[in-house]
């Protein structure tokens, strides 16, 4: 139980540090709730939107003075990583990106390793070309705690089965203990 609470706390900290942050976070930094409400009514819904807005745009909001705009921009800049970054820092962030396999070696090769986490990948094309199937495959792939199962898929079903058997209940995000599939051509169980 304690481990689950710690995991949830770690997840919430991680979620706060990545992605758009709601404008309500400014209240935790000492910005008045009424000022946050005024910003939201003016169309600013994230801290990032405020941080990248020109000071003049904030001053044009009724009830936000120049001093308040300065304070709001200062606090927003503390929450949003802005400014220059070194090539080393950029390379470090890029190296932490995980590539999720699509289940197709050739498609992974086209995508230079697979679908990147933390980014938006758009697929389009004619109907019945496999877009939905790729999405379903990615949904399943993302559920596993490691990509080892799917990396080994290309080595054959027997190695996949062996790896699934190695996983315990705690190791799998879904708690999958058995999986089943049928080949389309043979209509026989594959797993």
pLDDT tens column, 5-14: 454 444 444 4
Rounded to two decimals, what is the model's pTM?
0.46
Alpha-carbon distance of 189 to 85, in angstroms, equals 53
Mean pLDDT in runs of 10 for the chain (191 residues)?
Answer: 49 54 93 95 94 95 94 93 84 86 87 85 88 85 56 44 52 44 45 43
pLDDT score recorded for residue 53: 94
Alpha-carbon distance of 94 to 9, in angstroms, equals 25
116 in helix, strand or coil?
A: strand
Phi (first) and psi of residue 115, to 5 degrees:
-85, 130
pLDDT tens column, 141-180: 777 645 443 333 334 445 555 555 555 444 444 444 344 4
Output DSSP code: residue 182: B
Alpha-carbon distance of 1 to 89, in angstroms, equals 37
Two tokens, residue 179: 């999986």
How far does CA 114 lie from the centroid of its chain? 15
pLDDT score recorded for residue 164: 55
Domains annotated for the chain, with CATH where assigned, are: 20-79 (1.10.150.20)
pLDDT score recorded for residue 66: 95
pLDDT score recorded for residue 166: 59
Output DSSP code: residue 16: H
**Helices vs strands, H then E, count in the chain:** 10, 2
């Amino acid at each position: 139980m304690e481990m689950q609470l710690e995991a949830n706390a770690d997840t919430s900290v991680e979620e706060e540090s990545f992605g758009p942050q709601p404008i309500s976070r400014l209240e935790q930094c000492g910005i008045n709730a009424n000022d946050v409400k005024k910003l939201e009514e003016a169309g600013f819904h994230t801290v990032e939107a405020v941080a990248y807005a020109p000071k003049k745009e904030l001053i044009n909001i009724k009830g936000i003075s120049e001093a308040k705009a300065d304070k709001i921009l200062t606090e927003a800049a503390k929450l949003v990583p802005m400014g220059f970054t070194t090539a080393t820092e950029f390379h470090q962030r890029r190296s932490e990106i995980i590539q999720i396999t699509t289940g197709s070696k050739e498609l992974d090769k086209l995508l230079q390793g697979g679908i990147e986490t933390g980014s938006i990948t758009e697929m389009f094309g004619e109907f019945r070309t496999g877009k939905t199937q790729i999405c379903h495959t990615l949904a399943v792939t993302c559920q596993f705690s490691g990509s080892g199962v799917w990396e080994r898929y290309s080595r054959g079903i027997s190695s996949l089965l062996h790896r699934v058997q190695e996983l315990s209940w705690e190791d799998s995000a879904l708690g999958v203990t058995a999986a089943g599939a049928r080949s389309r051509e043979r209509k026989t169980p594959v797993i």
